[in-house]
Structure 1
């Protein structure tokens, strides 16, 4: 549903994104993560048709991302999503349904269904008088009024309390389960690890790692072992009535076993520890990235800066 090939976005002499390529299939949640300034939001806005690539192609549901027809197949949720606070949730969503030319009877049913699914109360209260969590739910419902096949969500749980965050993430998972394609960005890597089928790590505008969390962990992470013994061995420390030492291979585990036996004890337990996505991210994002993001006037990548395109459902 989403095909990105060689995406490059240049602002003046600065390359925000440098040659990114990835694809997202129906029913899949694809996470884009990276430090601040890595190019995540530029990537998501390019897929949403809000930014014109300097180079490369972006296709959504078989059409160019900037094709007017693409907007009927796409729902976009920016990280910051101010609402019209004098409107109620119902009137606000009907307004955007009208912008998408959704028939009123269809829109009303779709709006009520989305609000039911999101468990959103106070549907006729001014949006200026509801909580941040409720506003975020309304913004998510707004992304669904046109019943899009593709959803681009930039920090959907931004600033929410843990309970609302878990609810929103579960809702995103249900959307993918219904067959929708989801491109997802979040700073909280635990959320990404728990919800995304595949992940791309961006650093300085370049995708430096990509794949399932398991494949990224296998390539970039490390596996260590906590070995618990009944007697102290070299390098171990106390752990209740036992002793524990951390080693990096099964050969080292066997060495601990032999040392424990020599001291008249034994290995009581072995626990495997794998790198978390956050640990891998800190390692990979901290490595130097080839090339420079600065574009010289003589470079073929230097292009005039394109203006950001307006889009339905985004207020300034």
Structure 2
């Protein structure tokens, strides 16, 4: 459904995205995460057809992302999505349905269905007078008025309270279950871990880890075992009326068991701990990666000079969101 092959975006002497390649399958929620300036927003805006790539290809449903026909098959939700505050939810969504040339009867049915699914109240109140959570729901409904097959959501739960956040995430899952393909970015890695089928982690314009959360954890995470024994063994610490040893392999667990048995005791409990996606993220993307993103004059490769501007610079050099 989405194919990104060698995506590269350069602004002057700054490389915002460097050679990204990934595929997103139909009905999948695909997460793109990384620190500020990693290239996430540039990647999403390129997929949405708002930015032309410097090199590489980006296809959505088999067509180039920038083709006008592609936009009819895609819904985009930017992180910041100001609405026309003098309009009501209904009038605002009808306006965008007209831009997509959706017949009025079809548009009204889609709008009411989306607003029902999102449990949005006050549909005829000025958007300037409703809460941020309701505005975000209207923005999500706007991304659906053309009934797209592909949804590109940049921080869909940005700034929302926990209850509304959970609702939005559940709704994203329902959209994927209905057959829509969702490209999803979020700073809250618990949200990513809970909703995404696969993930790429970006840092300084490059993909540094990819796969399911379990695959990324296997490749980049750590597993430890807390072994509780009824008697002290070498390397253990007191823990109430028991003793705990922290080890990193099942062979070590067995060694603790044998040591406890030799001392006249036994293993009372074993608890496994795996790295969270956030811990892995901090490990692979929390520090600057080797190399750089600035291009020497006359060269097409980064030098050793660092640059932390990232997507902030990219955002400053692209047009405002279509229709906003």
Q: TM-score normalised by the shorter chain: which range applies?
A: over 0.9
| Alpha-carbon distance change, 310 to 286 in structure 1, aligned in 2, over 3 angstroms | closer
2:35–2:286: 8 Å Cα contact kept in structure 1? Answer: no
Q: Distance in 1 between matches of 2:232 and 2:123?
A: 63
1:238, 1:127 → 2: CA distance? Answer: 59
8 Å CA contact 1:227–1:246 kept in 2: the answer is: yes
1:290 CA displacement: 4.2
Match of 2:173 in 1: 173
Structure 2 residue 216 is the aligned partner of structure 1 residue 216? yes
CA distance in 1, matches of 2:146, 2:321: 13
Question: 2:85 & 2:182 partners in 1: Cα distance?
Answer: 28
Residue 272 of structure 1 pairs with residue 282 of structure 2: no
Which runs of 5 or more residues in structure 1 are unaligned?
A: none
Spell out structure 1 runs of 4+ moving beyond 4 A: none
Instruction: Write the distance in 2 (CA, Å) between the matches of 1:126 and 1:236.
Output: 64
**Counterpart contact for 2:199–2:211, Cα < 8 Å:** yes
- Within 5 Å, give how 1:1-316 maps onto structure 2: 1-286=1-286, 288-300=288-300, 308-309=318-319, 311-313=321-323, 315=324
Contact 1:49 1:309 in 2 (8 A): no
Match of 2:308 in 1: none
What do you get for the CA RMSD once the two structures are aligned?
A: 1.7
Q: Distance in 2 between matches of 1:93 and 1:131?
A: 17
**Contact preservation (8 Å) 1:40, 1:202:** yes
The answer to whether the 8 Å contact 2:10/2:54 transfers is yes
Could you tell me which runs of 5 or more consecutive residues in structure 2 were left unpaired when the two chains were aligned.
303-313
**Quick check: 2:29–2:184 contact (8 Å CA) kept in 1?**
yes
Q: What is the aligned length? A: 312
Using the alignment, how far apart are the partners of 1:301 and 1:124 within structure 2?
54
Deviations 1:17-54 (CA, angstroms, capped at 9, x unpaired)? 00000110110000000001000000000000000001
Q: In structure 2, what is the Cα distance between the partners aligned to 1:64 and 1:177?
A: 25
> Residue 308 of structure 1: CA displacement?
2.7
Report the Cα offset of residue 135 of structure 1.
0.6
SS of 1:114's equivalent in the other structure is helix
SS in 2 for 1:17: strand
Q: Is the 8 A contact 2:201 2:208 kept in 1?
A: yes
The whole-number CA distance in structure 1 between the counterparts of 2:121 and 2:171 is 16
| Offset at residue 231 of structure 1 (A) | 1.7
Give the TM-score taking structure 2 as reference length.
0.93
TM-score (norm 1): 0.95
Is the CA contact (8 Å cut-off) linking 1:27 and 1:178 kept in structure 2?
yes
Maintained 8 Å contact 2:204/2:288: no
After superposition, the Cα gap between the structure-2 partners of 1:301 and 1:142, relative to the gap in structure 1 and judged at 3 Å, is: farther
Q: For residues 10 and 23 of structure 1, what CA distance do their matches in structure 2 show?
A: 22
* Cα distance, 1:251 vs structure 2: 1.5
Q: What is the deviation of 1:287?
A: 5.2
Deviates more, 1:169-178 or 1:280-289: 280-289
Deviates more, 1:109-118 or 1:216-225: 216-225
Once the two structures are TM-superposed, the CA of residue 156 in structure 1 deviates from its matched residue by 0.3
Q: Deviations over 1:168-218 (max 9, x none)?
A: 000000101111111000001111011111000000000011111111111
> 2:272 and 2:35 mapped to 1: Cα distance?
29
1:206/1:289 contact within 8 Å kept: no
